[in-house]
Amino acid sequence: MTVKQRTNRKSPGSTNAVPRSDTRNGSERESARSGIRIDWRRIITRMLMMTAIMVAVYFSKANKTVQFAKQDEEIGKKFVEISCSEDYAEELRQFRGCTPRKCGRMVSDSLIKPGEVAALRNIAERGLALGGSSGGASILDLHSGALSQGNAFVNIYKLETSRKIFTGEDFKIYSHVKGKIQHAIADHFGIDKGQLYLTHPTFFSRITSAPPKTIHDEYWHPHVDKETYESFHYTSLLYLTDYGQEFEGGRFVFIDKDSNKTVEPRRGRVSAFTSGSENLHYVEQVTRGTRYAITVSFTCDPKHAIEDPKLER
């Protein structure tokens, strides 16, 4: 797009106006001349956050590791409160009823029933059997239909073989479990459940020890969910396999200043946390076996809300 320049023609009887001093800085003036509005504050904030992440990752290598949730312990509910990051807190102020009473993370093994876990594991196995990444990380998104296949993604609902793979009961259980997790997050963080919406991406994951083939297979890099997915405000994971029994590696690691806190996956374990930079984290590489989980993400912004999946025929 080109920007037309205006020519200021003076009328015969006109007088010269007193020129105004331009108080904008150089980058702002350049942006105005080009016709492009640049949110420098957001760019600088992201740069500072990325710098902080790199520093945190560097020092995390020397950090001691603390087990926040072990696989062989059954946890009714365990949580830790952490100060909200400034940018996260500032953004949530615009969503009344969705600002957390406290930021942090929580784990519970009593929320989801064993039968529900088994049903969801079965859904994941049936769906992912129709595809699978060439590398070690595969996803199945029942909302969009995205399914890893080779080095790319396909829409599972467009596959001829998928028409009879799912049932109405599958989607009913999926939605019921999502509702349980949504209610638990609202209750723990002190927010209005009606102001908390499911958002994209929400998906099943299957991770093996196969070497990565594309960037999508490199799941182990430290990151902040809010930076990776802008719509995220609250993140949760439901584990469908047991660490140390069905797979090795694959622990979830929070990177804190004093130490790294690990969550060892356990069937039916739900881990939930605020999605801001107060919860920088990564997943260890799986070295043996297969790790199944579901990432269930929530937003406070209704424009990013998605509906529960529906059975397509």
Q: What's the pLDDT tens digit per position in 63-111?
A: 689 999 999 999 999 999 999 999 999 999 999 999 999 999 999 999 9
Residues 203 and 254 in one domain: yes
Q: How far is residue 4's CA from residue 214's CA, in Å, rounded to a whole number?
A: 44
Does residue 1 fall inside a structural domain? no
- Do both 50 and 170 map to the same domain? no
Taking 80 as the threshold, does the pLDDT of residue 217 lie above it? yes
Domain assignment of residue 194, yes or no: yes
Within-domain flag for 212: yes
Is residue 284 a contact partner of residue 185, using CB atoms and an 8 Å limit? no
Alpha helices (H) along 111-268: 114-128, 168-189, 225-228
- Is residue 206 part of the annotated active site? The answer reads no
Q: Is 184 exposed, middle or buried (0-12, 13-18, 19+ CB in 10 A)?
A: buried
CA–CA dist 310, 2 (Å, integer): 46
Tell whether the model's pLDDT for residue 30 goes beyond 50.
no
Do 94 and 181 lie in a common domain? yes
Within this chain, do residues 223 and 88 fall inside the same structural domain, yes or no? yes
Total structural domains within the chain: 2
Residue after which a domain boundary falls, among 62, 83, 116: 62
Annotated active-site residue in 37, 105, 291, 313 = 291
| Segments forming the whole domain that contains residue 48 | 27-62
d(CA 274, CA 226): 9
In a domain, 310, yes or no: no
pLDDT of residue 16: 38
Residue 234: what are its φ and ψ, rounded to 5°? -135, 130
One domain for residues 141 and 157: yes
- Are 249 and 120 in a shared domain? yes
Burial of 130 (0-12, 13-18, 19+ CB in 10 A): middle
